[in-house]
Structure 1
């Protein structure tokens, strides 16, 4: 099963195995990663699952939709060029080892 490396703003790393087809937000919420709130449950309406995707992985992801780009305008922490909503990142086998960093706040 492919793994995801979630890195908190204090540097703490949590590695989770995520079934292909599941999104990163759901994996984080179900495993109790508190830095990912996911208040809307992955409906692309709250921006509380904001992450910074490691630069090495950005090119492997599909580009953000126009809806995701609009929601990224609403994030609580600094928006960066590598900002994504983890509810919009669907796990695939070729993403095994992906690294995402969590901002210091979601709301």
Structure 2
């Protein structure tokens, strides 16, 4: 890929994440499972940081790991109904990772 295509891809990805965080995330009313279970950043914030620091192409393995982490957290929460889960959701749970 040429440098300009990669730069455009990174910019587009960041704009999509920002739009999601600003307009969609507040409406949906839930937090990602990873952020809830581990008490750290949400997937969108983590992926945004990865794209900023590594770019979407080089950061792709780290993005996959973040989504797998969220998927695993959602499974952990589902297996432990005694844990508070109100407003928790994994966007990738139906997708086998």
- Larger relative helix fraction: 2
TM-score w.r.t. length of structure 1: 0.25
Structure of greater relative contact order (alpha carbons < 8 Å, 6+ residues apart): 1
